[in-house]
Amino acid sequence: MERIMKTRTIVLCVSEMSPVLVRKWVDAGVLENIAGLMARGVAGRTRYEVPFYLTPQMWATITTGVSAGRHGVFDYYQRDQDGKVGITDGSVVAVPRFWDRMAERGVRPGVVNLPLTYPPRLHCGFMISGQDAPGDHVSIAKPEAFYHELRKRFGRYHLKDVFPGGQDKESYAALLSSEAGRQTEVFEAIAARDDWDFLMLYTSGIAMAQHYFWAHLEADEPRDPNRHVVRDAFLAVDRMVQTISAAAGPDANVFVVSECGAGRLAKGVNLNAYLRHRGFLTFKSTATTARTARRIERGLLTSIRARAQRHLPKRFFYWANRSPLKKWIQNRLASGAIDWLRTRAYHRGKGEGNIYFNMAGREPQGVVTEMERAALAKEVEASLLALEDEGGERPVVAVHRREKLYAGPFLEYAPDMIVEWRDAAYMPTERNFEDEAIFGPRWREYMYWPTTGSHRPHGFFAAAGPDVSKRGSVDDIGLLDLAPTWLALSGLEVPPEMEGRARQDLLSDAPFPTVARKSAERL
């Protein structure tokens, strides 16, 4: 029998927050508020069991309580039923989110900035879409009045300003700091409202700092102006924890959760260059003039995107991101140079190491038959396992066929094979020039400098409050278990279709307290 919890719960979702760095700076006395949360309640690590640490897939798993084969999200870009690759947004998620269950049972959710929430769909409470939204526009929020209230108080909503596209490194370091402060102010105003019972706030400043400034963190050069960028991002989140906890009130449960961690990037990998080297992929005419023309075109299109990111006023981003021109440029950069009729396997998307087969009847110009599929999989696997970098290291520890990692009605949308990298320390480059070396710096879209940090399997978890256990350290928490646990915390039954389980060891055995609700107030 369900008994609706009256204590409010606030979840700060901190993308890719490294538990190793949390421990380092908690022990050093730097993260006082996070340390206090850990001391008052429970703390541990999250873990995703699939070696594919990509934001859309992990957050869809967290918010649905089912695995990717059932919720249908695998990458930022993935195939549709026609074999065409498109941008992933919230409309791709095929099953209800846990907050839909809450809303149905009278628990008022608030969801702010989470990935895969555009277009916003919420029957009660409020929502502002996250990074899959095109840009600042009234369509990113429900109800519209909530969006207008935020705009009236804070001006333009900074939906994607924390992303580094088109920035130089020094300007971006300053931007990370200013955006963290602004986001804290917005989150404080939202947490102080009385029209929510369960509130999720998502911030990605730490993820960006770790990706782009990890080398500065490790070098720790006293004269380096970027030496403390990563640490300062953690300090900003520590202040955010204090601020939103105070705004929510002393009787609120407070969670801090990340989907994965981070660490040093060993090397970037040009997977399509490797597949070409091994004969799985063929580029169009290899004549010098044709290759030169393609490189010039690619450089021009990349420059256009980077300059647009840097100079286009943010108020125009919504329209620019919805433009057919953007999709055309993305597809041209990703696959315009490939000779599809002579290509059997290729890499596409932002995935950690996703390999697709050019299947006949599935891809627009597919050539691999179903009878050839198993043999091709064996050939690709053997080739990648034998791959060595310049130092003689073998970066690939496993090559997984999709049916070994996923199950469900959306298996067909998954990559055919997924590369598992040693220590998760290698990542595919997004620049993908056909004449580049297989190993080298890892470049991302729109960027003027390469990344130096990559993902790690373990994220950070801490929680405290009236309905949270005080047992201290706990075992690793699977991403599938978070939604069932939050439902149980709210006094709701866990639907049988959820694959995870409620982690009762995280919850207090005491009866749920009740608090009086005030009427909703304006910001």
pLDDT at 326: 58
* Long-range Cβ contacts of 217-222 (<8 Å, 24+ apart): 218/264
Together in a domain, 132 and 275: no
Domain boundary among 454, 482, 516: 454
Q: Is 517 contained in some domain?
A: no
Phi, psi of 209 (to 5 degrees): -60, -45
Q: Do 368 and 494 have their domain in common?
A: no
Average pLDDT, the chain: 89
**Is residue 84 situated within a structural domain?**
no
* Burial of residue 330 (number of CB atoms within 10 Å: 0-12, 13-18, 19+): middle
395 and 464 in a single domain? The answer is: no
**Predicted confidence band at 245 (pLDDT cuts at 50, 70, 90)?**
very high
What sign results for the dihedral spanned by CA atoms 20, 117, 196, 205? positive
Examine the pLDDT at 309 and tell me if it is beyond 60. Answer: no
Which of 419, 454, 489 is where one domain is finished? Answer: 454
Which pTM does this prediction carry?
A: 0.90
Give the domain extent around 32.
9-47+102-263+456-506
Query: Do residue 282 and residue 212 come from a single domain?
Result: no
Instruction: Flag whether 516 is in a domain.
Output: no
Q: Is the pLDDT of residue 456 over 60?
A: yes
130 & 247 share domain: yes
Asked if 271 and 287 sit in the same domain, the reply is: yes
Residue 295 lies in a domain: yes
Q: Looking at 31-45, 217-231, 267-281, 309-323, which range is the least confident one? A: 309-323
Distances (CA, A) of 512 to 119, 491, 509: 34, 8, 9
- Give the tens place of pLDDT for each residue, 36-52: 999 999 999 999 999 99
Is residue 327 domain-resident? yes
pLDDT at 324: 64
- 398 with 469, same domain: the answer is no
Residue 242 reports pLDDT greater than 60: yes
Say if 70 falls within a structural domain: no
The CATH number of whichever domain residue 16 belongs to comes to 3.40.720.10
Clarify whether residues 367 and 413 are in a common domain: yes
Q: How many domains does the chain have?
A: 2
Q: Does residue 406 form part of some domain?
A: yes
Amino acid identity at 509: D
Q: Are residues 129 and 230 in the same domain?
A: yes
Which range (16-20, 419-423, 448-452) has the least confidence?
Answer: 448-452
Q: Are 249 and 187 part of one and the same domain?
A: yes
Does the structure show a pLDDT above 50 at 519?
Answer: no
For residues 363 and 413, state if they share a domain.
yes
Residue type, 232: D
pLDDT in tens, 165-196: 778 898 999 999 999 999 999 999 999 999 99
Look at residue 501 and tell me if it is in a domain: yes
Residues 379 and 496 in one domain: no
